[in-house]
Amino acid sequence: MFRNVAELVELAVSQNKQISDIMIEQEMKVRRTTREEIMGLMERNLVVMEEAVEKGIKGVRSHSGLTGGDAVLMQKYIEKGNFLSGQTVLEAVSKAVATNEVNAAMGTICATPTAGSAGVVPGTLFAVKNKLNPTREEMVKFLFTSGAFGFVVANNASISGAAGGCQAEVGSAAGMAAAAIVEMAGGTPQQCAEAMAITLKNMLGLVCDPVAGLVEVPCVKRNAMGAANAMVAADMALAGISSRIPCDEVIEAMFKIGQSMPTALKETAQGGLAATPTGRALEAKIFGIPLDKK
């Protein structure tokens, strides 16, 4: 039904529908099933996300020991009430971190669009839930909106850190979340596209350099920043601010940047933070490799 963001927005506007409805209808056609069935399938994903956030907020730790407990620290910080950022933004950060800490601890998460970037969409969703008080159906539609933009990225660029760096993973996830936030807040389809563009273009060039090759450092904290980015970009779009570069061109730019990115910075753990002295020391400790053997 749609190949890019421009066509997605045009369909929504011409039919006077939300982005989420266009995506739901596409899924109905592809799967040859009913709206109820499609909504039910996405509801299952929502439940997985909800359970991951709840588990992470209580505190988990990865087997490597690299990550865990930061979502708890952020929640305690929020409860003190003397934070500098807005509470909704910090709630998004804590819940994004919670989800990715569960992933690092080998728990069950929903890849949105990947496991390494799985915290951004649920993190923002459950943060704005407290602000916007959506119905359960609206929460499910939030996931379809994010999915629609993820669908475009996956088919026109990449959502793989190994292919395009972390811009393709957390960058895409943040853009997807920003668009969904805008729709839930009552924004237009075009404002959803602006939010996606604003978010993604501010994460262009983000490398994938996991320490010890594990999806933990810096991945968990990048989800936190992706969630914060999405929240701010959504507010900008809702304020009427637009991206000077159209969304589809931003996605294309991300793809080309990924193609020109060195292999060392695309999930190989050969460069960036993974290649720092501390990064190498952590890798040696985790895998029991003497530093002089590396």
- Domain residue ranges of the chain, discontinuous segments joined by +: 5-285
Using pLDDT thresholds of 50, 70 and 90, give the confidence band for residue 293: low
Cα–Cα dist 132/141, whole Å: 14
Tell me the whole-structure pTM to 2 decimals.
0.97
Task: Determine the CATH number of domain 5-285.
Answer: 1.10.4100
- Is residue 186 predicted with pLDDT exceeding 90? yes
Q: What is the mean pLDDT of the chain?
A: 97
- Is residue 97 predicted with pLDDT exceeding 90? yes
- Is residue 25 predicted with pLDDT exceeding 90? yes
Using pLDDT thresholds of 50, 70 and 90, give the confidence band for residue 238: very high
Residue 82 structure tokens? 């003397």
Q: Residue 251 contacts by C-beta under 8 Å, 6 or more apart in sequence?
A: 4, 5, 152, 153, 156, 157, 200
* 8 A C-beta contact, residue 229 and residue 174: yes
pLDDT value, residue 55: 98
Dihedral pair phi/psi, residue 82, rounded to 5°: -105, 30
pLDDT value, residue 289: 84
pLDDT value, residue 290: 74
Cα–Cα dist 277/176, whole Å: 35
pLDDT value, residue 184: 98
* 8 A C-beta contact, residue 211 and residue 273: yes
Three-class SS of residue 266? strand
Compute CA distances 237 → 79, 147, 197, 230, 288, whole Å: 29, 19, 10, 10, 49
Closest among 192, 166, 160, 139 to 9, alpha carbons compared: 192
Compute CA distances 171 → 7, 114, 149, 226, whole Å: 21, 11, 12, 7
Average pLDDT, stretch 252-280? Answer: 98
